[in-house]
């Protein structure tokens, strides 16, 4: 009667997605990291980035420079730091982001009777 049975989706699109490279979130992180690196090289590690600051960077494969809202990116990245992997946190810590450093919990000294 004109109704066709549903076809199972093929596995091919998932396989091609896995070989494409970094996803949008990873690309955005890399752009922000490049902008932060540029800021630190120019201004120094001890100078905080104002929230309203934008940094112009050149991205490989792009003809035009790109503007990264660096202050907003840092604020958002800091608030979402629980979603970052160890490599991302280490890269941020290297650039002076103290909030990205691993937290060490001091252990209590054992009781000696």
Confidence band for 100, pLDDT divided at 50, 70 and 90: very high
93, 78 Cβ separation under 8 angstroms: no
Quote the pLDDT of residue 18: 53
Distance CA 34, CA 70 (A): 10
**Three-state SS string across 9-52, please?**
CCCHHHHHHHCCCCCHHHHHHHHHHHHHHHHHHHHCCCCCCCCC
Average pLDDT score, the chain: 84
The pTM for the full model equals 0.71
Of 22 and 69, the structure prediction assigns the larger pLDDT to: 69
Q: What is the pLDDT of residues 19-63, one digit of tens each?
A: 566 799 899 999 999 999 999 999 998 899 999 999 999 988 778
């Amino acid at each position: 009667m004109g109704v066709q049975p549903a076809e199972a989706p093929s596995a091919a699109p998932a396989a091609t997605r896995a070989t494409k490279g970094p996803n949008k979130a990873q690309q955005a992180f890399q752009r922000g990291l490049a902008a932060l690196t540029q800021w630190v090289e120019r201004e120094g590690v001890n100078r905080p980035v104002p929230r309203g600051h934008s940094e112009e960077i050149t991205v490989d494969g792009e003809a035009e420079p790109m503007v990264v809202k660096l202050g907003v990116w840092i604020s958002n990245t800091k608030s979402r730091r629980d979603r970052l992997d160890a490599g991302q946190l280490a890269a941020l810590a290297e650039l002076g982001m103290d909030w990205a450093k691993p937290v060490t919990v001091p252990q209590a000294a054992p009781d000696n009777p």
